[in-house]
């Protein structure tokens, strides 16, 4: 192995969900920077041209598809189109997610379904669709975006019980898929971010009291930047992690070390 190229992803094709904004867009651009061509999926199309242009400026190819990960048929079609255009998918990043903040006593069934369908059902069936390609080729890297909230209960001021349930499910899916597909040389891991500066946490950033409470329980005393998730994802997508599967990599500023 040429260790100077251990993180090189040149020639690889990555599919990332929720890649139109926030963490997903940053990760798409990061993977392109390490050599990947991209299939980017997002349920909104408003940023599609900017996303494609940003990746093409890095000298990589990009296909953008508008689809909702909770629509299993739509995701199978996206995977088929990606393979038709690129010939394969080497890397899957299950990033698409949503959250609704509300006291547990006030959630509706519709809200529960929305969160679980996006955050958990979407991960399972997108992984299934891509897994059919990877297991047949007997190679592949799958990275799920979980959360520290999938490993510990959320503080009471967070009001995110269904979100915690969905991300806990992602953690278990990661381990179960890793064990089932190890024989196919398909690696399945996850990163579990703590608080990252994105639109989804903007209400916490705007609430001075809640923000200070959160900062006081993070050893590094700050929220993460989206670009600080690129390194962990590239590691799990590259040859550098060829003896790592079923692992949850915490990117949380030291929170879970307490």
| pLDDT surpassing 70 at residue 1 | no
Distances (CA, A) of 61 to 10, 13, 52, 67, 164: 12, 9, 8, 19, 35
Write down the domain spans for the chain: 3-248
pLDDT digits (tens, 9 = 90+) for 127-160: 999 999 999 999 999 999 999 999 998 777 788 9
Distances (CA, A) of 98 to 138, 175, 231: 32, 22, 23
Q: How far is CA 42 from the centre of its chain?
A: 12
Under the banding of pLDDT at 50, 70 and 90, the label for residue 4 is: confident
Instruction: Record the pTM.
Output: 0.96
| pLDDT surpassing 80 at residue 106 | yes
* Least confident window among 31-40, 101-110, 210-219: 210-219
- Percent above pLDDT 90 for the chain: 87
In this predicted structure, what is the pLDDT of residue 137? 97
Q: Which two tokens stand for residue 106?
A: 């006030």
Report the alpha-carbon distance of residue 10 to residue 154 in Å, rounded: 39
pLDDT digits (tens, 9 = 90+) for 82-96: 999 999 999 999 999
Report the alpha-carbon distance of residue 68 to residue 221 in Å, rounded: 35
Give the contacts of 172 (CB within 8 A, at least 6 positions apart).
Answer: none
pLDDT digits (tens, 9 = 90+) for 172-220: 999 999 999 999 999 999 999 999 998 878 887 888 888 898 899 999 9
The predicted model gives 119-127 an average pLDDT of 98
In this predicted structure, what is the pLDDT of residue 204? 79
- Percent above pLDDT 70 for the chain: 100
- Which residues are catalytically annotated? 163
Architecture of the 3-248 domain: 3-Layer(aba) Sandwich (3.40)
């Amino acid at each position: 192995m040429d260790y100077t190229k251990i993180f090189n992803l040149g020639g690889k094709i990555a599919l990332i969900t929720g890649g139109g904004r926030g963490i997903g867009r940053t990760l798409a651009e990061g993977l392109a920077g390490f050599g990947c061509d991209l299939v980017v999926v997002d349920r909104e199309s408003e940023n599609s041209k900017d996303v494609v242009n940003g990746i093409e400026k890095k000298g990589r190819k990009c296909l953008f598809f508008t689809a909702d990960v909770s629509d299993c048929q739509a995701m199978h079609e996206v995977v088929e189109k990606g393979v038709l255009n690129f010939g394969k998918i080497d890397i899957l990043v299950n990033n698409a997610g949503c959250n609704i903040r509300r006291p547990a006593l006030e959630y509706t069934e519709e809200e529960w379904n929305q969160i679980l369908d996006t955050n958990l059902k979407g991960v399972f069936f997108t992984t299934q669709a891509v897994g059919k390609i990877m297991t047949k080729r007997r190679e592949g890297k799958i990275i799920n975006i979980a959360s520290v909230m999938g490993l510990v209960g959320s503080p009471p001021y967070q009001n995110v019980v269904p979100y915690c349930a969905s991300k806990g499910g992602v953690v278990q899916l990661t381990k179960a898929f890793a064990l089932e597909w190890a024989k196919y040389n398909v690696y399945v891991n996850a990163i579990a971010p703590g608080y990252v500066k994105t639109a989804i946490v903007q209400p916490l950033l705007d609430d001075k009291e809640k923000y200070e409470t959160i900062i006081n329980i993070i050893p590094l005393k700050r929220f993460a930047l989206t670009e600080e998730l690129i390194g962990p994802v590239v590691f799990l997508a590259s040859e550098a992690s060829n003896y790592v599967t079923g692992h949850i990599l915490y990117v949380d500023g030291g929170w879970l070390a307490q």
